[in-house]
Amino acid sequence: MILQKFRRGLLGRFVKFGVVPSVLVVVTIVGTTTYLNIISKFADLRELATSHAEFFASKRETGNQTAIGTLFAMSLALENGLYANKAGTLRYLQSVAQANPMFGVFVAYESIGALPKNSTDTGAANTVTIDKATDETGRFAPRFDHDPTAPESILLRTMNNISESVLYKSAMQNFSNGNPRKIIVTEPHMSEGEMVNEFVLPISIDGKFVGVAGITRPFSAAVKAIKELALEHEMNFLLLTDKDVFVAAYAGDPSASEQTRATFEGLSGKPLQKTEWATSLGA
């Protein structure tokens, strides 16, 4: 199929972008009417898709480098005294989140390495706040996210059962294998209604694994940009990762039905192979 060749060409071109494969993105455009229409406009579509794919990939990569630098700074701060001060950790994480409006930040202590649940200091964060950042097992696992309903507001949440997550177990495994500075990057996935991926790094004190520090990066900017492009060009846009997972899609074709629009907008987080485009866009 012509779209298969189109997609493979884009994948080959953008392998150079990204620290790890999961952050690579590819834009493909589905023609607005018939297969003949796709063929007749293929050259124009390829040029348009290629330029936007390059933009998304390079912009995402810039943000990834910022996330990695921020994550290393968080880890070093925790390993050099901050870990023992829960209230100070909360203030530090909140300031990092405020300085990076496109990031969510979190830490999770190992139960055996965490201080008692009621540990506090004389700083602004009191015991009540620390309790809010501690799960029912006594694990200190705060996460700061930006409130989508109030741009200037930061939300503090507790990550429950974090020790059972793939990202936490992977960080522990890396540490055990002698890779304490290897960053875990999760595949893009849906979390609380939006597409995100996480960057996670083990925390090491006195040669022991004592928890993880992490950053959450949403794809909200890419989702917004896909919608704007689709409406501008009056075409249907699809944004996928190199692992064949939809990040965003929008039907900009003016003749598209409401059902078609709903189908496109519901693609985020779905594997390509489980959609109607598996044949036309699949490898």
From first to last of its 283 residues, the chain has per-residue pLDDT tens of: 444 554 455 444 433 333 333 333 344 444 333 333 444 444 566 666 667 777 777 777 788 888 999 999 999 999 999 999 999 999 999 999 999 988 899 999 986 444 444 444 444 444 558 888 888 888 999 999 987 777 678 889 899 888 898 889 999 999 999 988 889 888 888 887 788 889 999 999 999 999 999 999 888 888 888 888 888 877 778 787 777 788 888 888 888 889 988 988 888 888 888 887 776 665 5
Look at residue 31 and give its three-state secondary structure.
Answer: coil
CA nearest 245: which of 178, 188, 202, 170?
Answer: 188
Q: Which residues contact 222 (CB under 8 A, 6 or more apart)?
A: 25, 56, 60, 239, 247, 248
Give the largest Cα separation in the chain, rounded.
71
Q: pTM above the 0.85 mark?
A: no
The single-letter DSSP state of residue 271 is: B
Write the CB contacts of 93 (distance below 8 Å, at least 6 apart in sequence). Answer: 74, 105, 106, 107, 142, 144
Q: Contact 246/268 with Cβ under 8 angstroms? A: yes
